[in-house]
């Protein structure tokens, strides 16, 4: 098998889909990109520029855009699905008649489906029953990739062929593709970090400092790890690019759409106004609701997700929520070293006047 892929399909005409399509074309593949808007497709083919989502960057002319699914998928060895989570299953169903079992299907989407709390690669698996399924996730702001800034991502799949072919299709001198076999952990990390990016944007708008941002990101990582463990996932994955790596970038950059929604909320906009002003999808808004509800259902302690939910959906002012969170339980730093239950037990003993026992904890 040669190193180079001949045909790559990208479903989705947004900024990330466009950036990845251009990399695959730079690497020598003929790339077909599916988007639903025929006028935008024609303009991309004419001007080699996606004026709606990445107006300032040239697209490799070997990317051909089309709203014809059959044309886009014919002969594609790799199919990248870059469609927001709320439309993901619908678009996969539209693609289904033209998909072939030998094709490699990879989700790039960092979101969760409400029904069944499904991640996108699980939808790919359910809808197709194919075996070459994977995800890519990591600190990957599309605009920076389009600028050819040095960037790394993770391809995660339990199928070695999928990992290798994605590394071949997308790896280049400015885009490095690391491999993982923890598909669920990598995909969950990408979805969860969006919640905390909203919180970080909000904190920045409220004038909070770098200590605060560092606290927020670190406690976010603890919360993500706790949720992962409760769902049987490996929290070690969150030490990598798709966990802490993506958390850092989205909690620090105003290029992140989730961060921008949070910032607008911190400035006093309503959620509807913040989302409308963005004009693109911020997956975290929906993810906060789903994760907060799941955490409650499963008894997972997630004070940040809970607090953010109350700000977004129950009208609690952001500054008031920050104060409440600071008055919450003072818990363990790293729960894998000192379990949270041990800290709580020690607190109860001291409060009951049993300090000797507390010292032994």
Ligand X SMILES: O=P(O)(O)OC[C@H](O)CO
Ligand Y SMILES: NC(=O)c1ccc[n+]([C@@H]2O[C@H](COP(=O)([O-])OP(=O)(O)OC[C@H]3O[C@@H](n4cnc5c(N)ncnc54)[C@H](O)[C@@H]3O)[C@@H](O)[C@H]2O)c1
The catalytic site residues sit at 193
Report the residue number, 87 or 229, with the smaller CB distance to ligand Y.
87
User: How far apart (Å, rounded) are the C-alpha atoms in residues 318 and 275?
Assistant: 17
Residue 142 labeled ligand binder: yes
In the set 7, 9, 41, 53, which binds ligand Y (CB under 6 A)? 53
The correct pick among 12, 240, 245, 262 for binding ligand Y (CB under 6 A) is: 12
- The answer to whether 57 touches 255, Cβ cutoff 8 Å, is no
Q: Does 108 bind ligand X (CB under 6 A)?
A: no
139 near ligand X (CB under 6 A): yes
Q: Give the burial class of 278: count Cβ atoms within 10 A of its Cβ; 0-12 exposed, 13-18 middle, 19 or more buried.
A: middle
Q: Does 186 bind ligand X (CB under 6 A)?
A: no
138 labelled binding-site residue: yes
Can you list the positions of beta strands (E) in the chain? 7-11, 30-34, 49-50, 54-58, 63-66, 78-81, 104-107, 112-113, 118-119, 133-137, 151-156, 175-180
String of b and e for 154-178 (b: at least 16 CB within 10 Å)? Answer: bbbbebeebbbbbbbbbbeeebbbb
Of 125 and 144, CB closest to ligand X: 144
Phi, psi of 117 (to 5 degrees): 50, 50
Residue with smaller CB distance to ligand Y, 42 or 160: 42
x/- map, 249-288, ligand Y, by CB under 6 A: -------------------------------xx-x-----
The residue from 16, 57, 259, 309 that contacts ligand Y (CB under 6 A) is 16
x/- contact string, 136-175, with ligand Y (CB under 6 A)?
----xxx---------------------------------
> What string of H, E and C letters represents the secondary structure of 212-253?
HHHHHHHHHHHHHHHHHHHCCCCHHHHHCHHHHHHHHHHHHC
Identify the residue whose tokens are 């070690």.
236
Pairing of strands 151-156, 133-137: antiparallel
Considering beta carbons, is residue 72 or 112 the nearer one to ligand X? 112
Are the C-beta atoms of 175 and 23 separated by less than 8 Å?
yes
The residue among 164, 110, 115, 102 whose CA lies nearest residue 135 is 110
The answer to whether 341 touches 329, Cβ cutoff 8 Å, is: no
Region near ligand Y per CB under 6 A, out of 68-76, 104-112, 168-176, 292-300: 104-112
Residue 180, burial from CB neighbour count under 10 angstroms (0-12, 13-18, 19+) = buried
Question: Cβ of residue 36: shortest distance to ligand Y, in angstroms?
Answer: 4
Whether the CB-CB separation of 241 and 152 falls below 8 Å is answered with yes
Specify the DSSP element, H or E, that contains 164. Answer: helix 160-170
**122 vs 137, which CB is nearer to ligand X?**
137
Answer yes or no whether residue 250 interacts with ligand X by CB under 6 A. Answer: yes
Q: Report the residue number, 73 or 228, with the smaller CB distance to ligand X.
A: 228
Indicate whether 108 belongs to the interface with ligand Y (CB under 6 A).
yes
The reply on whether position 240 binds ligand Y by CB under 6 A is: no
Distance CA 185, CA 300 (A): 17
Closest approach, Cβ 26 to ligand X, in A, equals 20
Q: Which residues bind ligand X (CB under 6 A)?
A: 110, 139-141, 194, 197, 246, 249-250, 256-258, 283
Binding residues: 12-17, 36, 53, 110, 138, 142, 193, 246, 256-258, 281, 283
Binding residues for substrate: 110, 257-258
Binding residues for sn-glycerol 3-phosphate: 110, 138, 193, 246, 256-258
Q: Which residues bind ligand Y (CB under 6 A)?
A: 12-17, 35-36, 53, 82-85, 87, 90-91, 108-111, 140-142, 280-281, 283
């Amino acid at each position: 098998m040669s190193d180079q892929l001949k045909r790559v399909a990208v479903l989705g005409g947004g900024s990330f889909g466009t950036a990845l399509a251009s990399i695959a074309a730079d690497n020598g593949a003929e790339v077909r990109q599916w988007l639903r808007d025929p006028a935008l497709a024609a303009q991309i083919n004419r001007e080699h520029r996606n004026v709606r989502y990445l107006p300032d960057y040239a697209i490799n002319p070997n990317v051909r855009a089309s709203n014809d699914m059959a044309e886009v998928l014919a002969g594609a060895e790799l199919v990248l699905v870059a469609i927001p989570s709320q439309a993901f299953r619908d678009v996969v169903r539209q693609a289904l008649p033209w998909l072939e079992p030998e094709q490699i299907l990879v989700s790039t989407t960092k979101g969760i489906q409400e029904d069944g709390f499904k991640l996108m690669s699980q939808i790919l698996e359910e809808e197709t029953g194919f075996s070459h399924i994977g995800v890519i996730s990591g600190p990957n702001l599309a605009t920076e990739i389009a600028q050819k800034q040095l960037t790394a991502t993770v391809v995660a799949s339990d199928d070695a062929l999928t990992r290798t072919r994605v590394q071949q299709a997308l790896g280049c001198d400015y885009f490095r593709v690391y491999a993982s076999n923890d598909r669920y952990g990598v995909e969950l990390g990408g979805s969860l970090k969006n919640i905390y990016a909203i919180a970080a944007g909000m904190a920045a708008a409220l004038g909070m400092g770098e200590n605060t941002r560092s606290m927020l990101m670190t406690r976010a990582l603890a919360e993500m790890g706790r949720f992962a463990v409760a769902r049987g996932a490996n929290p070690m994955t969150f030490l990598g690019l798709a966990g802490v790596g993506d958390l850092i970038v989205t909690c620090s950059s105003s290029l992140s759409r989730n961060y921008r929604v949070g910032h607008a909320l911190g400035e006093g906009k309503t959620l509807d106004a913040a989302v409308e002003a963005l004009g693109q999808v911020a997956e975290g808004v929906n993810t906060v609701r789903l994760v907060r509800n799941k955490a409650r259902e499963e008894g997972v302690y997630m004070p940040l997700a809970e607090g953010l939910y109350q700000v977004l959906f129950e009208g609690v002012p952001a500054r008031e929520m920050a104060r409440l969170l600071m008055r919450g339980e003072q818990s363990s730093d790293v729960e894998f070293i000192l379990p949270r239950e041990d800290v709580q037990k020690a607190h109860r003993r001291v409060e009951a006047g049993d300090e000797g026992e507390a010292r032994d904890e």
